[in-house]
Structure 1
Amino acid sequence: MQLLVLGATGRVGSHIITLALQGGHHVTALVRNPEKINKRHDRLTVIQGNVLESEDLLRAIQGVDAVISALNTDGTTTLSKSMPLLINAMGQEGLKRIITVGTAGILQSRTEPEKLRYQSSESRRKSTRAAEEHEQVYTLLKGSTLEWTIVCPTYLPDGEVCGNYRVERDVLPEGGTEITVGDTAEFTYRQLSDRRFINARVGICY
């Protein structure tokens, strides 16, 4: 399979590239700073570009079978502003499958089901800016014709793949407090072949 990975220089994105290459896939990474990718592989193509430029996205997406986005908010609006461009580029290429990494804040609240977690008393975070960015992406994907999955981890410490985690559609599994970067990447990568969570958010935690 030919994959486009966005956010490839981040913590989760770099793990996803490693897993995809180990799985025999061809990977294209669209990055602003190619020097930040220290991997060299004959199935890895690194393209310098910006997700806020339609031409760069179209160049990177040619011949791709699926997109995995591990873009984070970085204190900017890049996440929400790039998604309409990405949806448009995928439409032009006739591409359907996209898997993104979001945040547990955009899952439904268990205590206040009419609210998202970040809007409810379940959330302990004082700042809601990142969750609001991810909510915009969720809204855009819901309104598209794509086959999307949003993986929604809670607190995300560094750590390798353990494999012993819990997932649940649209809510965070009860009592969950954290999930490592490695396990988040592993579950995200597995969505390429797992169609149980098409057009759904997935809460993931230990």
Structure 2
Amino acid sequence: MSALSVLVVGATGSVGRHVVDAAVAAGHRVRALVRDPARAVGFPASVEMVVGDVTRPDTLGPAVDGIEGLVVTLGTDGEGKTGARTVDYEGVRHLLAAIGDRPVRVALMTAIGVTVREGQYNQTTEAHDWKRRSERLVRASGQEYTIVRPGWFDYNTPEQHHLVFLQGDRRTSGTPADGVIARAQIAQVLVGSLTSADARHKTLELVAENGPAQPDLDPLFAALDADPPGSLDGVHDRPNQPLDAEPASVHGDLAALRGVLVEPSQHNHHEKDLT
């Protein structure tokens, strides 16, 4: 496995701190994007800290300079619709714009149930809709990527460490019954995806069941179906967020990334020139 220069976004969060540790343990050169240096305590000495804010694109140039991998673990619980849009979605857009055409391997964390639109949580916060839009930006960016939708953080018991990769986002109760996972294991999967050829262009829900953790993630990634070329959504996702009903700004963001709009249909996805 070759070492990469990796930027961790959300590095001071509850999952991001584990990502920093996992990336250092894997031998990567790690840079942490932090809004407040006072919160960036306890990082390994080798970690480079860069002050910046995903909601302020003018601060992101030094953070993305020279990176080869990007792990994004943004979260805005408690900030409602505004936070969901400005951080979970626009933050990802700003990062991709700052990277531009340079090839960077992207690992994006969203959430299990991200395609569930009718539940009270999404109706109140629109968090699922905006996270799903952030996934679409990553797929449209042309970068190599893996999108990880973890279950409920740290609800697992000491016996639940056997990793299970799912697809299609079919667990929709909105409770820990949908699946549980340790934060440290989320970090392991995100970091592991950066150097796994079998993880490219894969979207998965991540949970843990009874049993020991697997030492090798590649067979788990290899068993997944890849997102189809040109697709905006995960390979088995329900087509329940049609592009023609999306905000005009979202159309513009996709156009800026690709120069085309990609319109989801029931079974596949077709490109439509903007010109």
- Mark yes or no: TM-score above 0.5: yes
Give 1:172 shift. 5.7
**Residue of 127, 133, 145 corresponding to 1:130:** 127
Measure, in 2, the Cα distance between the counterparts of 1:3 and 1:162. Answer: 29
Measure, in 2, the Cα distance between the counterparts of 1:59 and 1:33. Answer: 16
The ranges of structure 1 where at least 4 consecutive aligned residues each deviate by more than 6 angstroms after the TM superposition are 158-162
Secondary structure of the residue that 1:165 maps to in structure 2? Answer: strand
Q: Greater RCO between the two (CA within 8 Å, min separation 6)? A: 1
Extract unaligned runs of 5+ from structure 2.
209-275
Give 1:82 shift. 1.4
Give 1:88's aligned amino acid: A
Measure, in 1, the Cα distance between the counterparts of 2:104 and 2:51. Answer: 24
Deviations 1:129-186 (A, max 9, x none): 2212211101212222111211001222267997411013444689752112121111
Measure, in 1, the Cα distance between the counterparts of 2:74 and 2:88. Answer: 7
* Number of the residue aligned with 2:266: none
Give 1:15 shift. 0.3
Equivalence map 1:124-163=2 (5 Å): 126-128=120-122, 129-157=126-154, 163=161
Percent identity of equivalent pairs: 22
Structure 1 residues 96 and 203: alpha-carbon distance in aligned structure 2, compared to 1, 3 A threshold: same
* Number of the residue aligned with 1:90: 99
Deviations 1:93-118 (A, max 9, x none): x1331101111123xxxxxxxxx3x1
Measure, in 2, the Cα distance between the counterparts of 1:60 and 1:163. Answer: 33
Are residue 103 (structure 1) and residue 97 (structure 2) matched? no
Measure, in 1, the Cα distance between the counterparts of 2:170 and 2:71. Answer: 21
* Number of the residue aligned with 1:166: 164
**Residue of 17, 21, 27 corresponding to 2:20:** 17
Secondary structure of the residue that 1:187 maps to in structure 2? Answer: helix
- Equivalent residues of 2:11, 2:73 under 8 A apart: yes
- TM-score (normalised: structure 1): 0.82
Larger radius of gyration: 2
CA RMSD of aligned residues (A): 2.4
- Equivalent residues of 2:144, 2:200 under 8 A apart: yes
* Number of the residue aligned with 1:69: 72
Are residue 27 (structure 1) and residue 30 (structure 2) matched? yes
Structure 1 residues 44 and 62: alpha-carbon distance in aligned structure 2, compared to 1, 3 A threshold: same
- Equivalent residues of 1:158, 1:182 under 8 A apart: no
